[in-house]
Structure 1
Amino acid sequence: MMRTGKYPAISFVFCLLGSLALVACDQPVAINAEPLNADRIFHNAHILTMSFENEHDEMTIANAVAIKDGRIIAVTNDTPNYPDNWVGQNTHITNLDGRTLMPGFVQSHAHFNLIVLKKMTVNLAPPPDGGVANLTNLKDALSAAAQKIPAGYPIMGIGYDDTVMEEKRHPTRADLDAVSTEHPIIIMHISFHLAVMNSKALEMAGINEDTPDPEGGHIQREANSNRPNGVLEETAMNVIGKMLPQPSPQQAFKTYDIVVKDLLALGYTTIVEHASDIAMEKGFQAYFASRDVPVDMIAYRRVVPDTEPIAAQMANMTREDVNGFKLGGIKILLDGSIQGYTGHLSQPYHVPPSGKDTSYRGYPHLPAEKFNDMLMQAYAADIPLLVHTNGDAAIDVLLDGLEKANKAHPNNTLRPVSIHAQTMRQDQLDRAQGVSLIPSFFVDHVYFWGDRHREIFLGPDRAAQISPAGSAENRQLIYTIHDDAPVVSADPFRTLWVAVARLTSSGEKLGAEEAITRQQALKALTLNSAYQHYIETEKGSIEVGKRADMIILDKNPLTVPEADLRHIKVLETVKDGETVYTLER
């Protein structure tokens, strides 16, 4: 079931609507004399519609848009202003003086709950997202928190990166014991695929010399001993959730409000949580019911094997939109993190981690047989799914399973997603076309870890091919791009810049052939992301009939110098026709 990067059916529908309003499309524009009585009009604008309606895939540029009852009722590029019949007695008209307007961003992959958690914990990230460059910085940050927190109360820090710190190693239980033995201390790696505990936290978690490695995880040990050194990999971290005190709904909702405002300021009008559970979803439901939240949220529930059947796990939660929140489907993890050495590769890591030999390739989260069973269940129940796959060996397992699932369910309409698709090979991109697989590339890796991928994790050849958006574009695959916030801070304009420039943090070009154009990157952040979430008829472009989710920018991303792409600011965010954020000056 091959799908290309075009949207012919959608374009045809919106061109038919030209008889009702002014529509930017290939057909001649018919001006309806009947009054539209728009609620709002934006005009004298440079509107990047994200509407691609000709065989050359060129985007329609418009100059005015009309909104009524939260939806777009007219778009034009045929007049210097806007038609008189758009205006009613109460129409609010905004002259944008040539500024750029485009659809609001649709997050393709992120973790809202972890962004919230990061707001509530100690920031251990390296520059530019934090200030921890070595173990001394890390200990100082945790010690400052310990002085303010009563003994016995957990301290949590998030975002350390062992490959950046001067010592080039993970902190250990001994390092954290030096901060405090009275507080349980838990710190999370920047990838969120590893954690470190001090002795008190390990004791609370029940992890000791006799604790075996869980399936899909690993408890690191001290040299010449079975004693845990504090570092927990992948599923070994599953104990953490039960150890942390839960904030009250009022406390949580207050932080939710802050994070929502931050995301609106970045131009997101649809946000995601891509590793939810039932308790988290109930909290989101309550939050969206408690107030008029100015964004929409889509959650994907993380499911695990050896529990209830997937259909039964999903039966207690509707996938319909309620107050702006809905459950989109399920999330399955097949492997871990390349920079955490837990991503599952088909060939060994370029430089193996400490204590491993040169054949080390990482490891899977679960056996292929278990994954295939879960995949078949999802396809039988028509449940959309995201599959976390960083390493190419994990992607092989995903593609093998999808080919079997499509053979068993040939009439399915699912759009499975390979989350991160970090080391997707050329032959895997070819196979993706046949199973409707959408790669969602974590392109920010090029900037944040590109140098270390080349020198440490993957070597020059494989590093140059990470996040192969250019190759996906050449095949006309539908793909998306993301920053995996809060692994790195949410910033769609930085993601746009990285996808276009392919520069590492040292300024080196990494895999120039995998760069994409600005227009292609913007499409991946809007229309393609909406398609990934099955909402492309509602969002992702400025077209008649769609919801009026739009942003106004201080610069045009199609024309600014390349280096300035990551510095573009959102001046105003419009959700369902209402202004929900304005840049303070």
Structure 2
Amino acid sequence: MKTFDRRGLMKGGLAAAALMGGAGRAFGETSSLSDLGTSLVSSPEATIYLAGEIVTMDPVRPSANAVAVVNGRILAVGSLDDMRLIFGDQPHRIDDRFGDKVVVPGFIAQHDHPVLAALTMSSEILSIEDWVLPSGTVRAVKDKRDFIERLTRAANARSDPNEPLVSWGYHPAFYGPLTREDLDAVSSERPILVWARSCHEMILNGAALAAGGVTQAVVDGFDDTSRKQSNFDEGRFWEQGLFAVLPHIAPLAATPERLRAGLELSRDYMHAKGITFGNEPGGILSKPVQDGVNAVFSSPDMPFRWSFIVDAKSLVAAHDDDAEVIARSEALASWYGGMTSLAPRQAKLFSDGAIYSQLMQVREPYLDDHHGEWMMDKALFERAFRIYWDAGYQLHVHVNGDAGLDRVLDTLEANLRRNPRYDHRTVIVHFAVSAFEQVERIRNLGAIVSGNPYYVTALADQYAEVGLGPARADAMVRLGDLSRAGVRWSLHSDMPMAPADPLFLMWCAVNRVTASGRVAAPDQRISAEEALRGVTIEAAYSLKMESEIGSLVPGKRANMTILDRNPLAVAPMEIRDIAVWGTVMEGRVIPGSKGKRDASAVPAGPGGTAPAFDRAALRHALNVVHAHR
């Protein structure tokens, strides 16, 4: 007897889909696919996509040349001859437009921030690196003088003296401190808001403070931690201090028009990079703001789906009753629809401060003896962890320093001992500075990691001299140690903390080449195959979606990224140069930025089409929206 296994491969070498009766169905020698012709004629038409090579990320069949799709799902993977065996008389068509291309599983943006990306990418970008956007290339800032000169030109180019100027990208560790006095010298009349490269810090001039009604008395009224993380005289607010001041100055930094334009730019940028599914960790706790996001991201012409994780930090801080926290978390599902959704039973927490602002909590002192910060006070962090842990949620925890990681792992271990859980998949997010022995502890506690390999490329050279020193700076994001220890990990960009470009992230992780061209901690490099897994199947695993996306096997969503070369076959330094032709998203072919999206063919998904949003309500909500990194 010839049987079919659940991967859709006939034992003995002939490929066949696990269909007509489900995975594992067996046919006797007297049965043949042609005998099923009557039932096949009534089956929906399938499309067989042919490619020069298909990299499946499926260990049972790593490569193929054809993939069959019906109703947005993969029906079979194999060769064209395999497909002919399978289909017989079932209606199907052959699409060979990828005949000279390489098909890989659809790239997954495991951890990106659409609102932050929208507002930063639509601001005056003055950053430590070049940004190549659909609207053009913005060159890196050379030094503080260059920054001030470019900021001054931007201010003078605006005809309305009261129009706020928002800039993003300044980095004190690269260019030196920036204060209210520096910005007042640029303009004492126009409100100027400089959002630091970390997005965890903002510097305001006097006009911006006045326009937002921010006085010393207002700052004195902040809670103790927020007040300590603010400096009114310098116009500088960071971490919880930034959270506290945002309700006052958000209307200066964000408008509905800027948000929408930025979201559209981010959408086009991410599609051009081959993304077919993305996730916002820490969904926005403002219904009008989310409606503004949905107006773009829930629209039926979106080239990818996007999910949102519960912002546990804000919900726990707002509610004293544990049951109310969970009830309100689950009620958030109604905020989404169309191409957006709430990631089921997942929540986001924060440990220490940002890597870009060097405010992570580290075991050994910084070179200049400054100190890190906590983004959640310990009591709030531990309460939030316990509430969501006991409710069976998967926790994604922002952490950058080794001391910050100690807090996360201590809390995880305490909850495991108190209330053991299997396959909890607690995600260590960012994983900048860590100690070697912490890797083994991560493994033993059953946690996984989502790392940002761009930290090494962008920051290792400068941080070797400023703040961390060579050893800690070079060992950031120790993926090699994770692999050797058997810890599962994925890659993310944290856009706008790094470009939302999976091939570039792969390049960073595989090569660990810094801005100066040297290799930082060569033993932490990983293989191209591991890196590809990091933006496909491991990214799906980190979101508990590995049964739906991340590899090309029968039954999963037909999400594919179309490349001009195989990232597993090119020289490691060429990975970032591979061109993205476009994507297939749930069976819909979407060419790159020059192609036209077919809105009518997009599956609407839960909730139907995108909801409308109230512009006035959104404008009001931007007055109180919190930072979400």
- TM-score normalized by structure 2? 0.80
Maintained 8 Å contact 1:216/1:234: no
Whole-Å Cα distance in 1 between the matches of residues 450 and 215 of structure 2? 35
Give the number of equivalent residue pairs: 553
Offset, 1:71: 0.6
**TM-aligned CA distance change 1:339 to 1:254, over 3 Å:** closer
Deviations 1:539-578 (A, max 9, x none): 0000100001101101110111222111111112111111
Higher alpha-carbon deviation: 465-474 or 124-133: 124-133
Q: What secondary structure, in the 3-state scheme, does the structure 2 residue paired with 1:347 have?
A: coil
Offset, 1:407: 2.4
Counterpart residue number, 2:532? 522
Q: Could you tell me which of 300, 312, 318 is aligned with 1:307?
A: 318
Whole-Å Cα distance in 2 between the matches of residues 15 and 369 of structure 1? 51
For the pair 1:509 / 2:519, whether they are aligned, the reply is yes
1:268-283 to 2 correspondences below 5 Å: 268-279=275-286, 280-283=289-292
Matching residue's letter, 2:387 = Q
Q: Could you tell me which of 40, 48, 54 is aligned with 1:41?
A: 48
Offset, 1:84: 7.0
Counterpart residue number, 2:603? none
Whole-Å Cα distance in 1 between the matches of residues 101 and 301 of structure 2? 29
Q: Could you tell me which of 565, 573, 579 is aligned with 1:555?
A: 565
Offset, 1:464: 3.0
1:96-495 to 2 correspondences below 5 Å: 96-129=98-131, 130-146=139-155, 147-148=157-158, 150-165=160-175, 169-203=176-210, 204-208=212-216, 211-212=219-220, 214-217=223-226, 228-238=233-243, 239-245=245-251, 252-279=259-286, 280-302=289-311, 303-304=313-314, 305-308=316-319, 309=322, 310-318=325-333, 322-328=337-343, 329-349=346-366, 351-352=367-368, 358=369, 360-411=370-421, 413-495=423-505
Maintained 8 Å contact 1:38/1:66: no
Maintained 8 Å contact 2:119/2:259: no
Deviations 1:216-255 (A, max 9, x none): 556678xxxx862122221111222542338776764454
**TM-aligned CA distance change 1:368 to 1:98, over 3 Å:** same
Whole-Å Cα distance in 2 between the matches of residues 231 and 251 of structure 1? 23
Offset, 1:480: 0.9
**TM-aligned CA distance change 1:292 to 1:339, over 3 Å:** closer
Whole-Å Cα distance in 1 between the matches of residues 362 and 88 of structure 2? 57
Higher alpha-carbon deviation: 409-418 or 383-392: 409-418
Whole-Å Cα distance in 2 between the matches of residues 44 and 366 of structure 1? 49
Matching residue's letter, 1:530 = A
Offset, 1:289: 4.9
**TM-aligned CA distance change 1:220 to 1:294, over 3 Å:** closer
Whole-Å Cα distance in 2 between the matches of residues 540 and 496 of structure 1? 15
Whole-Å Cα distance in 2 between the matches of residues 340 and 325 of structure 1? 31
Offset, 1:290: 4.6
Offset, 1:79: 4.6
Whole-Å Cα distance in 1 between the matches of residues 415 and 379 of structure 2? 13
Higher alpha-carbon deviation: 523-532 or 43-52: 43-52
Offset, 1:111: 1.0
Q: Could you tell me which of 12, 17, 21 is aligned with 2:16?
A: 21
Richer in helix (by share): 2
Q: What secondary structure, in the 3-state scheme, does the structure 1 residue paired with 2:575 have?
A: helix
Matching residue's letter, 1:67 = V
Whole-Å Cα distance in 1 between the matches of residues 304 and 232 of structure 2? 47
Maintained 8 Å contact 1:218/1:234: no
Whole-Å Cα distance in 2 between the matches of residues 553 and 175 of structure 1? 46
Q: What secondary structure, in the 3-state scheme, does the structure 1 residue paired with 2:169 have?
A: strand
Deviations 1:468-487 (A, max 9, x none): 11111112211111222112
Whole-Å Cα distance in 2 between the matches of residues 274 and 190 of structure 1? 19
Higher alpha-carbon deviation: 319-328 or 462-471: 319-328
**TM-aligned CA distance change 1:17 to 1:228, over 3 Å:** farther
Higher alpha-carbon deviation: 253-262 or 428-437: 253-262
Whole-Å Cα distance in 1 between the matches of residues 105 and 579 of structure 2? 14
Whole-Å Cα distance in 1 between the matches of residues 233 and 84 of structure 2? 69
Q: What secondary structure, in the 3-state scheme, does the structure 1 residue paired with 2:99 have?
A: coil
Higher alpha-carbon deviation: 234-243 or 518-527: 234-243
Whole-Å Cα distance in 2 between the matches of residues 295 and 44 of structure 1? 22
**TM-aligned CA distance change 1:557 to 1:145, over 3 Å:** same
Maintained 8 Å contact 1:116/1:255: yes
Maintained 8 Å contact 1:131/1:137: no
**TM-aligned CA distance change 1:20 to 1:317, over 3 Å:** farther
Q: Could you tell me which of 584, 589, 595 is aligned with 1:579?
A: 589
Maintained 8 Å contact 2:166/2:192: yes
Maintained 8 Å contact 2:300/2:338: no
Q: What secondary structure, in the 3-state scheme, does the structure 1 residue paired with 2:516 have?
A: coil
Higher alpha-carbon deviation: 394-403 or 410-419: 410-419
Offset, 1:402: 0.8
Q: What secondary structure, in the 3-state scheme, does the structure 1 residue paired with 2:282 have?
A: strand
Whole-Å Cα distance in 2 between the matches of residues 485 and 17 of structure 1? 43
1:80-95 to 2 correspondences below 5 Å: 83=85, 85=87, 88-89=90-91, 91-95=93-97
Q: What secondary structure, in the 3-state scheme, does the structure 1 residue paired with 2:354 have?
A: coil
Deviations 1:394-450 (A, max 9, x none): 111111111122223323543221110111222221121233312111111111011
Q: What secondary structure, in the 3-state scheme, does the structure 2 residue paired with 1:14 have?
A: coil
Maintained 8 Å contact 2:122/2:261: no
Higher alpha-carbon deviation: 380-389 or 528-537: 380-389
Maintained 8 Å contact 2:511/2:525: yes
Q: What secondary structure, in the 3-state scheme, does the structure 2 residue paired with 1:387 have?
A: strand
**TM-aligned CA distance change 1:549 to 1:335, over 3 Å:** same
Maintained 8 Å contact 1:47/1:100: yes
Offset, 1:535: 1.0
Maintained 8 Å contact 1:216/1:365: no
Deviations 1:493-517 (A, max 9, x none): 1110111111111111111111110
Q: Which runs of 5+ in 2 are unaligned?
A: 19-23, 132-138, 596-629
**TM-aligned CA distance change 1:210 to 1:315, over 3 Å:** closer
- TM-score normalized by structure 1? 0.86
Higher alpha-carbon deviation: 558-567 or 199-208: 199-208
Whole-Å Cα distance in 2 between the matches of residues 281 and 82 of structure 1? 47
**TM-aligned CA distance change 1:48 to 1:430, over 3 Å:** same
Higher alpha-carbon deviation: 536-545 or 196-205: 196-205
Whole-Å Cα distance in 1 between the matches of residues 63 and 439 of structure 2? 31
**TM-aligned CA distance change 1:289 to 1:97, over 3 Å:** closer
Counterpart residue number, 2:69? 67
Counterpart residue number, 1:497? 507
Whole-Å Cα distance in 2 between the matches of residues 82 and 144 of structure 1? 64
Matching residue's letter, 1:62 = A
Maintained 8 Å contact 1:105/1:269: yes
